[in-house]
Structure 1
Amino acid sequence: MTPAFASLSRALATMGRYGTLGFAISIFVGLALPGLASTMRPVLPFSIFVFVVLTFARADLAGVRRALKQPGRVALSWLWVTAAMPVMVLIALAVVGRAAVDPGLLLGLALVAASPPLMGFAAYTSLLGMDNSVPVALLVLTMAVTPLVSPPLATLVAGAVVPLDPAVLSLRLLWMLGGAFLGAFALRRLVGPARIAALKHEFDGVFVVLYLVFAIAAMDGVIAAALASPAKVALYLVVATLTCVTGLAVTMLVLWRLGRPDSFVLGLGSGMRNTGLLIVAMGAACPPDTYLFFSLLQFPIYCAPLAVAPLAKWVRNASAPAPAS
């Protein structure tokens, strides 16, 4: 290993070990560089593609197989992370009235409801010291059916507000995810699962760098919108935060009998959604207000690992077996 490569490896590993703090810092770095955001926005699709490739290249297939030995548990978990958020959004829209919601915000909520769990869902779970075998299994399952499930879910929630034909959206998602799966397979064959596992902290560091790139790209237009329409930005930020918090809280309450760790992990997947996947698939058809909501949604998502770390510690401690007397 050359000295330059060794230094890069150490730097990535250090970032990976402090991943929860790195994620939180990334979003504010992105916000602090508005001039760079518009330049980086075209990189958004590439960063999401790389997220998918690396996530599945790093997948612990043995852990996935262990999780799939409990098909009832996995099926219930998949059903919950797929259906819970659409149901919660539909209930909220019924309470406030669909007509009272801006079309751009309505579409943003529909995309949140229709999206699979965040790609960082399994990484967040690992960073918080939790078992991520079920999250990885859920990511495999949800991503596999996303082209079929997400477009009709978005149409169900948003109705005529969706500016793209569901069949076109499905095809774009299929091409994107299919290419990412092939890329992940090639990377596993080239590097090898054992070597990938040994470079855990380095890959965690790569994720932090990718999140920084993603944050800068996602912040395009946020500062300008905050100056022009501060009330709208504040409303969108509150709604974005509520979707994440409600997804976690409701899941932990409803699925409490599954055990604290399972309900907590599923809460992360229910509250933090991979909305960027659908934003990228929509491309130029995405309305500006919907993109603004997507941008503001990154604040609770990026701060989540740091914010919920005390809750994760409580869950771990409460679930630990009592010491033998």
Structure 2
Amino acid sequence: MITFIARYASYALAAGVFIGLALPWLASLLRPFLDALIVAVTVMAMMRVDWAELTQRLRKPGRLTASLVWCLLLSAPAMALLLAPIPLPAALKSAIILMAAAPPITATTVIAGLLGLDVALALMTAVLGTLLVPLTLPWIALELAGIAVDLSPLIVFQRLAFVVGGSALLAIVLRRVIGPVRLAAGKDTIAAISVVILILFAIAIMDGVTWVIIDSPGTAALYLGASFVANLVLTFGAALIFRPLDPWSYALVSGNRNMGLVWAGLGAGAPADVTLYFAIAQVPMYLWPLIIKPLVQTTSPAALPPNV
């Protein structure tokens, strides 16, 4: 089963979104566990961190620093500039900017392995980005994105710090209990469990989206189209900017953002249209491996493992 999940993870991730849409009762059933699933996938990623390798990367931090600066500090203002002249609803613009301000999803490590990209860069950017985002997102969320919520940046910071810090602490405890030898031997199992958690998250976050599609198909189509375009802009923008280095690895971390973590940070204060976008935007993100695979294979044929 572990081998099967690892081999067909790209298809399984894509299927999760459509299961949530096709079975709204299942999405509603899993919705109360959404916060727990966000924590679980964060913990699973942090358990995979090789702290010795992280220390080695930090000794030559150029590539990693560039990835973090782009994801946490530069891509959101760039997206805001691009959106300024476009006549979109204000809430939709805010949601897209928030997406661009979020750290990469921790699942980028799984996707990088599937596509033969830089797994270490994806892992370090996702983990360090998650650890640092409480310092960057609150002010972007409430200022740059222009979201009018009854929250101070400090409250958003505290919520994010609680989720991220708690996940990091739990990951450290689990690493000590399990031990480095068993962790190394079970890395495929951890990756498979991460995929399963992501599928459950995709189903849960689709709660209510099916009824929006039925009742307001125009709104759903607008949000879906905007999410595809925003994802492509983040993906190919990073590929162009970092073309001299490793375009597709940077495109991976740039195009796949952890909107669930933003959701957890904003809590009940997030506008309904923003949370709707976060749900619908999972569609292009979960389809990302299938969409980008032919390009990676064409431009870097040696990088892509067979039968992915």
After TM superposition, the score normalised by the length of structure 2 is 0.92
- Kindly state the Cα deviation for residue 214 of structure 1 after the two structures are TM-superposed: 0.5
What's the counterpart of residue 268 of structure 2?
284
Task: String of CA shifts for 1:129-188, please: whole Å, max 9, x gaps.
Answer: 222112222223212211111111122322253442211110000111111001100111
Structure (1 or 2) with the greater helix fraction: 1
Q: Give the AA of the match of 1:317.
A: P
Asked whether 1:66 is paired with 2:56, we answer yes
- Aligned with 2:283 (options 299, 307, 310): 299
| Cα offsets for 1:52-111 (capped at 9, x unmatched) | 111010123343233223222222222122234213321222221xxx432431331232
Q: Contact 1:82 / 1:142 at 8 angstroms: preserved in 2?
A: yes
Match of 2:106 in 1: 119
Q: Distance in 1 between matches of 2:147 and 2:126?
A: 29
Q: Map Cα deviations across residues 246-286 of structure 1 (whole Å, 9 max, x no partner).
A: 1111111122112xxx2211111111110110112222222
Query: Counterpart of 2:225 in structure 1: which amino acid?
Result: V
Q: Tell me the residue number matched to 2:95.
A: 108
- Aligned partner letter, 2:247: S
Aligned ranges 1:212-251 → 2 under 5 Å:
212-251=199-238
> Structure 2 CA distance, aligned partners of 1:89 and 1:248?
12
Residues 1:140 and 2:127 aligned together:
yes
Structure 1: which 5+ residue stretches go unaligned? Answer: 1-10, 321-325
Q: Secondary structure at the match of 2:146?
A: helix
The Cα of 1:223 is off from its aligned counterpart by 1.1
Structure ID, larger Rg:
1
Taking only aligned residues, the RMSD between alpha carbons, in angstroms, comes to 1.9
- Indicate the larger mover: 86-95 or 229-238: 86-95
Q: Which amino acid aligns with 2:195?
A: V
Question: What residue is the counterpart of 2:73 in the other structure?
Answer: 83
Q: 1-side partners of 2:290 and 2:187: how far apart?
A: 20
Question: Matches of 2:117 and 2:187 in 1, distance apart?
Answer: 15
Query: Could you tell me which residue of structure 2 aligns to residue 275 of structure 1?
Result: 259
What letter corresponds to residue 227 of structure 2 in structure 1?
A: A
SS in 2 for 1:161: coil
| One-letter amino acid of the structure 1 residue matched with residue 85 of structure 2 | V
Listed as ranges, the matches of 1:140-159 within 5 Å are: 140-159=127-146
- For structure 2, the 5+ residue unaligned runs are none
